[in-house]
Chains A and B, each alone.
Chain A
Amino acid sequence: MIVKMDHIFKSYDKIPAVNGISLHIEKGERVVILGPSGCGKTTLLRMIAGFVSPDKGTIEIDGLVVAKNGRSLVEPENRKIGMVFQDLALWPHKSVHGNLEFGLRAKKIPKNERNKRIDEMLVKTQMIPFKNNFPGELSGGQQQRIALARALIMEPKILLMDEPLSNLDIDLNLLLRKEVLELQEELGITMLYVTHDRDEAFSLATRVVVMQHGNIQKIGNADEVTKFLSELPVNKKT
């Protein structure tokens, strides 16, 4: 098991954001958390990454307890996690090469090895011609690929994706979904993806987790979740 979350609680100003959630994710799975804005899905992701500490409960990553009962025990940089942010968060002052190199250099990987891994990753994401460009010089789709490449180059145990495709037009969204799936399958990486878009969730997930008001309402495959959602009263639909 790659990620194990047990009875996780998190409140902001006494308003619960995550309300006693337990979720286990197996190696190689593609889990998508589906829910409306403010349902606590991003908070959950940020707790796994280590940016937010849960008020209660335990989080384990690859057998290591990283947070327990309000305390973060392992810093984000030591959790072996990759993340693609909603606004991508590409460093504007670093080139594509610099964006990919930063993490490798921080982990003291030798220069030859760094360059080899960067080139390999840029080939995989079809971004090699843009190696020396800066993020501001790239299109939206190219920036998405670089954000993904930057997360994957660190060979993380789990890839977290926080609505990374939400700002794209539908054609580019569909194309990148396909590319994300291909990369995930090629690398066999575990993926936890957050979205409010049902189509996106069903096309990417091996398992969908439906969240609302800080609680998990349903866990299942696309068919099971579609059936569950169709049975909900209209005003409760996600």
Chain B
Amino acid sequence: MARKITLWVAILLLLLIGLAPVISMFAKSLFVAGELSLGNYETLFQSEREWILLSNSFLLAGSVTFITLLLGVPLGTLFSKTDLPFKKIFIILFVIPLIIPSYILATAWFYFLGRSGIVAQILGANVGIFTSRFLFGFSGVLFVMVSTLLPIVIILVMTYLRMVNPKLEEAAKLSATWPVVLREISIPIIIPGICLAGLIVFILTLGEIGVPSSLRFDVFPVESFIQFSAFYNFNAATAAAIPLGVITLIILIIERLFLRKKVFQFRVTKDPMIIIPLGEKKPLFFAAVATLAFIIAIIPLCVLLIKSLSISAYHEALTRSIDSIFRSLLYAAIGATCLTVLGFFLGYLLERKAFRFTYAVDSIAILLFALPGTVIGIGLISLWNTRATNMIYASVAIIIFGYIAQYTALGERIMAATFSQIPRSMEEAAQIVGVGWFRRLFGILIPLAKRGIASIWLVGFIFCLRDLGITMMVYPPAHDTLPVRIFTLMANSPEEVIAALCMILILITLLPLSALSLIIKNKRQKI
């Protein structure tokens, strides 16, 4: 009984904090002056501009998906299946752009390729004009979004390839060369994983506002943000958010209906993964990967470092944002803790299939994760901006609610994967001798799942810390976080101060990751 109540509380929290705002927003968008009407949508879609924005969003999301898959599949294959040198360093370099907020990458590239950027200073003003034209608009947004989201494809391809039974490849290797084996056996087997990576990239690009607004490419999600923040036209903002929600929902339904059924059952095997020797082509692959890593990760990081390389810049940056830095760390820590608790129970629910409607709860969490931050932000405002709930709306709670709404799926899925490694019999053995739910929880489940719990907290912390979409929409006065502070200071602050702020954000994001890797290293040495 206690177990049922705990799980029900977790489900209700997800419904109240995550789903209710989205439903409330949709319901409100159907009323104009207190009467049921589609007027908001008529106004929205009668405007030619909205259709252009929508097609821009699709063009951008499609192009980013295509290019990330084109680059990510070979890179993921090289990192997971070959003897490419310095693989771990390359993986870290490629993952860095995903960890830091995407608009910071856009800022770094602006300092490098902008009209008076580093390239223009070295090669002359004419070159600066050319590079600036490339950066501002579709090509620049495409480039920055590809570098930001490429790690998702790389990581998923690596994960799925590691799950492929090596015997399938060996069976093929008896009659074919490695390129043929990869092309015809390994890659086709992981196509569901590649499609999943493509869907995630597509959805995340569709909801992005930071990079398109920094690099001046008009897309649909920016419209709801502008309607809300510039004109404070809540109805128009809501109506503009709904199409993105509907598109996301359709994509997820397609995924559920078609992709899941095509996932091949990977055979769990103790055999080590086969590492393909690159032979004579190793230097060639190394040079290609190193060049890409240099462009995608090293250039933007170096640009920010060089730009901010003065004590006065860091002094100024800290003076302007020390309160935001502390708030960011505090809110991210609170958000990560909430995500850990909720993720723990929902992950348990998903893996142990405790209720009949387990998959419905999972689908809600995934839908909320896939929705653009602006949509969730508007939903939260729609539900909580009332006199009765002002104590939530005007406090940090609204930001934390936003984090929970958007990122619960991460914790849920990580915990489900963790629980799948813990045999049910361990809990059942305690249950059969009369140990109650809470004692089982604290005495068996939590100690056995502590690695998963630590992972959720860390992942949650990073995602909360880098969040811009939701925080930007809902933060109450004097509650802005560092990403929001940087975004708002960008227009009228010296470049070196902004660069210093970006470096500070990158450092505080990477700090917990480095601490964790040190702890893991020490533990391994002790073992």
List residues of chain A with CB under 8 Å of any chain B CB: 49, 51, 75-77, 79, 81-83, 85-87, 89-93, 102-104, 106-107, 136, 150-151, 154
Contact among A85, A86, A89, A154 for B175, CB-based, below 8 A: A154
Chain B: which residue is nearest A153 at the CB level? B175
Q: A92-B189, A93-B264, A106-B172 are in contact. List 10 more A-B contacts (CB 8 A).
A: A51-B170, A77-B174, A87-B269, A89-B168, A90-B171, A93-B191, A102-B184, A103-B172, A104-B175, A106-B180
Contact among B177, B189, B267 for A75, CB-based, below 8 A: B177
Centre residue among A51, A90, A150 by max chain B CB count within 10 A? A51
* Docked pose: A127 CA to B177 CA in angstroms: 28
Interface residues of B in 161-189 (CB under 8 A from A): 165, 167-168, 170-177, 180, 184-185, 188-189
Chain A: which residue is nearest B173 at the CB level? A76
Q: Distance in Å from the Cβ of A108 to the closest Cβ of chain B?
A: 11
Residue contact B167 to A85, C-beta cutoff 8 Å: yes
Given contacts A87-B269, A92-B189, contact A102 B176 (CB under 8 A): yes
Chain B: which residue is nearest A49 at the CB level? B174
* Docked pose: A96 CA to B167 CA in angstroms: 17
* Docked pose: A85 CA to B267 CA in angstroms: 13
CB-CB < 8 A to B173: which residues of A? 51, 75-77
Residue contact B267 to A107, C-beta cutoff 8 Å: no
Residue contact B174 to A83, C-beta cutoff 8 Å: yes
Residue contact A102 to B170, C-beta cutoff 8 Å: no
Given contacts A89-B167, A91-B185, A92-B264, contact A107 B175 (CB under 8 A): yes
Residue contact B168 to A91, C-beta cutoff 8 Å: yes
* Docked pose: A106 CA to B180 CA in angstroms: 7
Interface residues of B in 248-270 (CB under 8 A from A): 264-265, 267, 269
CB-CB < 8 A to A151: which residues of B? 174
Centre residue among B170, B189, B191 by max chain A CB count within 10 A? B170
Q: Distance in Å from the Cβ of B392 to the closest Cβ of chain A?
A: 50
Residue contact B180 to A150, C-beta cutoff 8 Å: no
Residue contact A49 to B170, C-beta cutoff 8 Å: yes
Please encode chain B, from 271 to 289, with 1 for each CB lying within 8 Å of some chain A CB and 0 for all others: 0001000000000000000
Contact among B171, B176, B191 for A150, CB-based, below 8 A: B171
CB-CB < 8 A to A89: which residues of B? 165, 167-168, 170-171
Q: What would be 18 A-B contacts, judged by CB atoms less than 8 Å apart? A: A51-B274, A77-B176, A79-B174, A83-B174, A86-B167, A87-B167, A89-B165, A89-B168, A89-B171, A91-B168, A102-B175, A102-B184, A103-B174, A103-B175, A106-B172, A136-B265, A150-B171, A154-B174
* Docked pose: A87 CA to B264 CA in angstroms: 15
Q: Distance in Å from the Cβ of A110 to the closest Cβ of chain B?
A: 16
Q: Distance in Å from the Cβ of B231 to the closest Cβ of chain A?
A: 52
Residue contact A106 to B167, C-beta cutoff 8 Å: no
CB-CB < 8 A to A77: which residues of B? 173-177
* Docked pose: A87 CA to B266 CA in angstroms: 12
Residue contact B264 to A85, C-beta cutoff 8 Å: no
Q: Distance in Å from the Cβ of A129 to the closest Cβ of chain B?
A: 23
Centre residue among B184, B191, B265, B274 by max chain A CB count within 10 A? B184
* Docked pose: A82 CA to B180 CA in angstroms: 18
CB-CB < 8 A to B168: which residues of A? 89, 91-92
Q: Distance in Å from the Cβ of B299 to the closest Cβ of chain A?
A: 39
